[in-house]
Chain A
């Protein structure tokens, strides 16, 4: 028997869907920005083993890369209140995403820093740069440039992973989809549409990362 697609429900929920998309994008922008900043800090600390941050970052990275995102989210949302830290669902969602992306981007950016040719660091050393100046002016931009594609992918993965935040009732796109299909029982259509929307979002995030990356890469006049 042929299945009859029925998308007539869409206009009724257009507003909700738009809100879900905005929520997901918000999580991604905030989580991505803070996550990458944490990653830069982690990469520096681990590369030079800055005490006490280097070793601490080491534990943090291993912990968050070797446990499921959902469990991390539950630990933050359901676990932390036991310590008196009570977070709203959106706060927990952002915190989990930041910590998760921070751990992965620490290792990605560290790889970029380690790929700095020794000669460039020596050149900066010989010009009397401090270690921090070498990092900031000589290593960081070329390192980010090298790993930007990998970092972009990780941001997209984190964005897709944010669907898990529906489990703590953060009202992002998957939460909205669950809500809609529980009302209209058109599971196939609802999740088909959601799939398409996530796909579109992923392309959008990738494009945005690409555009940001272009600013890291110096544009030069043609010869």
Chain B
């Protein structure tokens, strides 16, 4: 049984039909990369997976937590979100809290973890992303790459079953991209289930178990990245990878 599964997923922005019946299954430990042109619905799809975008039809299931159109109340959302971590393009760290407090906050507030224990978790997570020494630094004292790694640690502190990464290197200076990708590669190696949207094609090819190409709100083509890049099955994907070079 897949860890993450969506079926018949539809989403409208006004009259704009952005997701047109998405069926996506992700197995535990799988690394899935969603690619596609701007406006193809890839970020929207990712954001529906933890309820940041509501859906207009279909069903999302993550590790037993179900989200349906007519049953997407606040507690169903929180139930889903406890299992799904998310890292954003713009990091979105809480500016009034130190790196350590950023990581501690959700366990303390959402899971009622005692402060001391939350601090231990935070130290462990920051160490995991290579920022053990930045526990007391504030977001505006950190580089973009460091902030993004804190954001990853913050998501990991809730022990999510799956981590969503929404173009997490797109806002970074080129020289900082690799330190973040390094952390993601390490997570993939540890068996973390990852679903990401990225423009880093080389990275996607290297770490992904599955590549999903979205086109006009549908999964147009998907499969193993090496095979897809070597021999695109559709003209649209061929043209997409052609436009990258």
Do A and B pair up? The answer is: yes
**B85, B94, B138: which contacts A126 (Cβ < 8 A)?**
B85
A117 with B92: CB separation less than 8 A: yes
User: B86 — nearest CB in chain A belongs to which residue?
Assistant: A126
Which of these binds chain B: A63-71, A80-88, A137-145, A199-207?
Answer: A137-145
User: B82 — nearest CB in chain A belongs to which residue?
Assistant: A128
Query: Taking the complex as formed, is A1 at the interface, i.e. its CB lies under 8 A from any CB of chain B?
Result: no
Q: Given A125-B52, A220-B141, A223-B141, check contact A130 B78 (CB 8 Å).
A: yes
Query: Taking the complex as formed, is A122 at the interface, i.e. its CB lies under 8 A from any CB of chain B?
Result: yes
- Give the interface size bracket for A toward B: 20 to 34
B109 with A129: CB separation less than 8 A: yes
Query: Taking the complex as formed, is B74 at the interface, i.e. its CB lies under 8 A from any CB of chain A?
Result: yes
B109 with A133: CB separation less than 8 A: yes
18 further A-B pairs in the complex, CB-CB below 8 A; given A126-B86, A128-B158: A119-B90, A120-B94, A120-B95, A122-B52, A122-B88, A123-B86, A123-B151, A123-B154, A124-B106, A125-B51, A128-B82, A128-B106, A129-B109, A133-B109, A218-B96, A220-B138, A220-B141, A221-B136
Query: Mask for B92-109, Cβ within 8 A of A = 1, else 0?
Result: 111111100000011001
A142→B88 CA distance, assembly (Å): 20
Instruction: Jot down 28 A-B pairs with beta carbons below 8 A, ordered by A.
Output: A119-B92, A122-B52, A122-B88, A122-B92, A123-B92, A123-B93, A123-B151, A123-B154, A124-B106, A126-B52, A127-B85, A127-B105, A127-B154, A127-B158, A129-B109, A130-B74, A133-B109, A133-B110, A137-B94, A137-B109, A141-B96, A142-B94, A142-B95, A142-B96, A217-B96, A218-B96, A220-B136, A220-B141
A117→B98 CA distance, assembly (Å): 18
Nearest CB in chain B: distance from A113 CB, A? 14
A138→B101 CA distance, assembly (Å): 12
**A123, A130, A145, A217: which contacts B88 (Cβ < 8 A)?**
A123
A125 with B81: CB separation less than 8 A: yes
A126 with B81: CB separation less than 8 A: yes
A122→B88 CA distance, assembly (Å): 9
Total A-B pairs, Cβ < 8 A: 71
Query: Taking the complex as formed, is B84 at the interface, i.e. its CB lies under 8 A from any CB of chain A?
Result: yes
A145→B97 CA distance, assembly (Å): 13
**CB contact list, A112-164 vs B, under 8 A:** 117, 119-120, 122-131, 133, 137-138, 141-142, 145
Chain B residues closer than 8 Å to A223, beta-carbon distance: 141
Query: Taking the complex as formed, is B50 at the interface, i.e. its CB lies under 8 A from any CB of chain A?
Result: yes
A129→B74 CA distance, assembly (Å): 10
B96 with A126: CB separation less than 8 A: no
A128 with B81: CB separation less than 8 A: yes
User: B107 — nearest CB in chain A belongs to which residue?
Assistant: A127
User: B109 — nearest CB in chain A belongs to which residue?
Assistant: A133
A217→B78 CA distance, assembly (Å): 30
Nearest CB in chain B: distance from A124 CB, A? 8
A126 with B95: CB separation less than 8 A: no
Chain B residues closer than 8 Å to A122, beta-carbon distance: 52, 88, 92
Query: Taking the complex as formed, is B155 at the interface, i.e. its CB lies under 8 A from any CB of chain A?
Result: yes
B110 with A128: CB separation less than 8 A: yes
Nearest CB in chain A: distance from B125 CB, A? 13
A119 with B52: CB separation less than 8 A: no
Chain A residues closer than 8 Å to B51, beta-carbon distance: 125
A217→B110 CA distance, assembly (Å): 24
Chain B residues closer than 8 Å to A133, beta-carbon distance: 109-110
B158 with A119: CB separation less than 8 A: no
A127 with B81: CB separation less than 8 A: yes
Chain B residues closer than 8 Å to A123, beta-carbon distance: 86, 88, 92-94, 151, 154
A133→B81 CA distance, assembly (Å): 15
User: A140 — nearest CB in chain B belongs to which residue?
Assistant: B96
Chain A residues closer than 8 Å to B105, beta-carbon distance: 127, 137
Chain A residues closer than 8 Å to B86, beta-carbon distance: 123, 126
User: A222 — nearest CB in chain B belongs to which residue?
Assistant: B141
Chain A residues closer than 8 Å to B96, beta-carbon distance: 141-142, 145, 217-218
A180→B78 CA distance, assembly (Å): 65
A97→B141 CA distance, assembly (Å): 41
B81 with A120: CB separation less than 8 A: no
A51→B54 CA distance, assembly (Å): 23
User: B164 — nearest CB in chain A belongs to which residue?
Assistant: A126
